[in-house]
Structure 1
């Protein structure tokens, strides 16, 4: 299981909000899986969602210096996949 590179986009509606989006893939096939995002400093869970049938996920988040994004396989066939130090641009 892999997470595509998460995209962090400046949210135009509010300078204090960021959007993180990406795709969950298993062996090159998009997958619906639980995705969580944590504060990079302190590790607090900020949000969670299920990726859609195309593997896409998106979060609108409060601004943080960095984030940690993790995808989990509820079928337990794969270990969790983590992207650490996702930094807003």
Structure 2
């Protein structure tokens, strides 16, 4: 009896592995066979035009001057 239960268990495992392999293997080959080698891609075109482009800069923060210039008056004497 021990021989028959081991034999039936081995048979069931073999059937499960073989059945799942049979189920998944043909799908991969069929998907590859159905896909065409080159597909056509639809492309739309527009005409180029020249327009003014507004240049704006929106930021957060504050402005700090890079260089400070001091202007002083000089008193000169006339001769």
TM-score, structure 2 as length reference: 0.17
More helix by share: 2
More strand by share: 1
TM-score, structure 1 as length reference: 0.15
* Greater RCO, CA 8 A, separation 6+: 1
